[in-house]
Amino acid sequence: MSSSETWLQHWPRALELWGRYIKLKDPRLTRQKKIPGKNSATPLAYIDLQNKQVVVGLDQVEKLGLQDFQLEILAHEIGHHVFAPGDLLDAGRCMARIHRALREYSGESGLILNLYTDLLINNRLKSMGLAMDQIYIQLNRQTEKMDPLWKLYMRIYELLWSLSPGTLCPDQDPEMEGDATVAAQVIRSFANDVVRGSGMFAAICYYYLKSDGTVATRKIMKPLLDSEHITAEDSIPDGLVEMQEGEEDECSYPDFDESGNWTPPGEAKGDADGTGIPSESSNESRSGGQSRIPLDYFNVLKAMGVKVSEQEATNRFYREKARPYLIPFPVSENEPSTEPLLEGYEIWHPGQMIERINWFQTLLRSPVVIPGYTTVQNRYGNAEGQSKDESPIDLDIYVDCSGSMPRPSISLSYPALAGTIIALSALRTGSAVQATLWSGPHQVQKTEGFVRDEAQILSVLTGYIGGGTAFPLHILRKTYLEEPRPRRKVHILVISDDGVDTILQNDEIGNAGRDIARRSLDVAGAGGTFALQLYGGWEKNPRLVETNKLGFKIHPVSSAVELTEFARRFVQENYRNDGKSKQRRRI
């Protein structure tokens, strides 16, 4: 019997170990040196999530002498698909916790995720009677030297499977024994909550990454690193922007009591009277709703093996962060629309669209069809319709990006988030958006006019300049006073602080900013709004009062966080203009 036939014989049993209804393609057996589309060498085996198929590297199997463990190898890879981590979102959440726990060694997150998920899977398969311990005995025969991390890993298996000391780990020291005992408890306690245990396991491994043996561990682990290929390069799961409840507490060294119960750091086991009621501060520390910063989000994606630029990751971060706030943007309701009214028939001539021919009327006129003589088409007039014609309001948004503003790709920028919420809401309704990021004189980034390209808009809104402060009057002038009048009504929105008063200055060719702003509002036709981060009333600022008199509505916010709520309110507002037409929300 050929080698491939024996692998396929074990496949149904490997699937059955995890459940009756698991659907995967038959395993692919390969002798390719590298994984197609990647630079990494083919490991012992891995799960190809794009094709939903287990891939086995026969050369590695034979090199390591593991031909007798076909069932164990196949069942292990299925375990990555259905159990640990199971899906891309859980893989990302595990990676985020591991990344946080490893701190300066976060570059080893992939290695630690592999160790952690392998422990969970192998421990479950061992309980089903598979010879997982024999695989590591065979691997250790080919290992000349064990570094501290690999020793810890082997000792954890000995404790989980009640093996005699020395079966897998040749020697122990008291400190490692304590860490291995806690790690084994993590594997047992969080077998049904894979994500929560990942940060704790990484915190235990942190001190073993300080040793000089990481290279040796990589050499031992290289053919076993199947979790490194669990993420497709173009697959980014939703749900990684928000941190889970208690995530920060669960990325530290775990604390188990004598009964084996885990207590999060900072959570009181009881008050002075022994009532066991946690303190209010501990409840607050474990509350959910916290967001990652964009830089951490980008690093997690890189650690998962996702090939994405920092700008693409930043755009995706703000898109996901804005999604809960999105609602339809207002539309303009114009005069009643017209409806076509059939008035009669007229001759259809060659060269006109053949679909226009009314064949019934043509054949009534003559059974012989002569194009241009007997062929007729319908003639329509216009009748006033019953419904009103609606057209979206376009958005012209200006976001201040002077040196006082945070860099959106590193930390959460509420001006960028507010702009994203409003711009994406506008796109939902069919509006076009012109986005301008501005700082000092002629320091601007903008879209190519009014566009519906989401990536282009977000790349502007989440960009960074960090210079001085000078409102881009030349953009306003060009858009409304020099180029043809916009074909639809436009709302002008500016997100800034008190530096917005630079709109009153003269432009680079000496035109008065007041005149440019006032005339631009008239041409735009749908009003203007200033969302300003202020720490006092704008009514006492004479220059802001003057901008208000130009026609801009001023919405002060006392903190950056309030910009998010402003954005939500903004897209719900009903607009009014000169009374000839009204603007309302589309629900």
Going by pLDDT thresholds of 50, 70 and 90, the confidence category of residue 383 is low
CA distances (Å), origin 468, targets 323, 402, 441, 481: 31, 5, 8, 26
Q: Give the separation between CA 247 and CA 195, rounded to whole angstroms.
A: 10
Q: What is the pLDDT of residue 184?
A: 95
User: pLDDT tens digits, residue range 458-477?
Assistant: 999 999 998 899 999 999 99
Share of the chain above pLDDT 70, in %: 83
What is 393-585's CATH number? 3.40.50.410
User: HEC states along 37-93?
Assistant: CCCCECCCEEEECCCCEEEEEHHHHHHHCCCCCHHHHHHHHHHHHHCCCCCHHHHHH
Average pLDDT over residues 513-527: 93
Q: Give the separation between CA 538 and CA 180, rounded to whole angstroms.
A: 61
Tokens standing for 114? Answer: 């592999």
CA distances (Å), origin 41, targets 57, 234, 305: 10, 20, 15
Tokens standing for 71? Answer: 């069932």
Tokens standing for 579? Answer: 């009374």
Choose between 81 and 161: higher pLDDT. 161
Q: What is the pLDDT of residue 186?
A: 95
Q: What is the pLDDT of residue 585?
A: 39
User: pLDDT tens digits, residue range 482-503?
Assistant: 999 888 999 999 999 888 999 9
Q: What is the pLDDT of residue 288?
A: 45
Q: Give the separation between CA 456 and CA 415, rounded to whole angstroms.
A: 17
Q: What is the pLDDT of residue 345?
A: 86
pLDDT at 283 > cutoff 50: no
Going by pLDDT thresholds of 50, 70 and 90, the confidence category of residue 33 is confident
User: pLDDT tens digits, residue range 328-342?
Assistant: 555 555 555 566 777
Q: Give the separation between CA 353 and CA 355, rounded to whole angstroms.
A: 5
User: pLDDT tens digits, residue range 433-460?
Assistant: 999 999 998 899 999 999 999 999 999 9
Going by pLDDT thresholds of 50, 70 and 90, the confidence category of residue 275 is very low
DSSP SS3 for 389? strand
Q: Give the separation between CA 136 and CA 123, rounded to whole angstroms.
A: 13
User: pLDDT tens digits, residue range 368-377?
Assistant: 888 888 898 9
pLDDT at 583 > cutoff 70: no
Give the β-pairing of 525-533 and 552-557: parallel
Q: What is the pLDDT of residue 536?
A: 76
Average pLDDT over residues 126-130: 95
Query: What is the chain's length?
Result: 587
pTM: predicted TM-score of the whole model, two decimal places: 0.77
Minimum mean pLDDT range among 141-150, 165-174, 280-289, 364-373: 280-289
- Residue 343 phi/psi, 5-degree rounding, is -110, -20
Minimum mean pLDDT range among 185-199, 217-231, 488-502: 217-231
Going by pLDDT thresholds of 50, 70 and 90, the confidence category of residue 211 is low
Question: Do 429 and 456 form a contact (C-beta atoms < 8 A)?
Answer: no
**H or E element: which one contains 492?**
strand 490-496
- Residue 418 phi/psi, 5-degree rounding, is -60, -45
Question: Do 380 and 414 form a contact (C-beta atoms < 8 A)?
Answer: no
Whose CA is closest to 583, among 447, 417, 391, 411? 391
User: pLDDT tens digits, residue range 389-398?
Assistant: 567 889 999 9
CA atoms lying within 13 Å on the CB side of residue 109: 26
Minimum mean pLDDT range among 136-145, 307-316, 523-532: 136-145
User: pLDDT tens digits, residue range 46-80?
Assistant: 887 667 889 999 998 998 899 999 999 999 999 98
Rg (Cα) of the chain, in Å, rounded? Answer: 33
**H or E element: which one contains 568?**
helix 562-570
Going by pLDDT thresholds of 50, 70 and 90, the confidence category of residue 269 is very low
Share of the chain above pLDDT 90, in %: 42
pLDDT at 423 > cutoff 70: yes
Q: Give the separation between CA 467 and CA 405, rounded to whole angstroms.
A: 10
Tokens standing for 178? Answer: 């304590």
Whose CA is closest to 480, among 426, 517, 527, 526? 517
**Backbone region of residue 556 per phi and psi (left: phi > 0; alpha: psi in -120 to 50; beta: other values):** beta
Q: Walk across the sheet containing 28-30 and list its strands.
A: 28-30, 53-57, 45-48
Q: What is the pLDDT of residue 212?
A: 56
Domain boundaries, the chain: 3-229, 336-390, 393-585
Minimum mean pLDDT range among 17-26, 183-192, 240-249: 240-249
Q: Give the separation between CA 488 and CA 513, rounded to whole angstroms.
A: 24
**Backbone region of residue 514 per phi and psi (left: phi > 0; alpha: psi in -120 to 50; beta: other values):** alpha
Q: Give the separation between CA 195 and CA 244, rounded to whole angstroms.
A: 10
Whose CA is closest to 117, among 229, 214, 37? 229
Q: What is the pLDDT of residue 130?
A: 96
Q: What is the pLDDT of residue 180?
A: 94
Going by pLDDT thresholds of 50, 70 and 90, the confidence category of residue 278 is very low
Q: Specify the DSSP class assigned to residue 354.
A: G
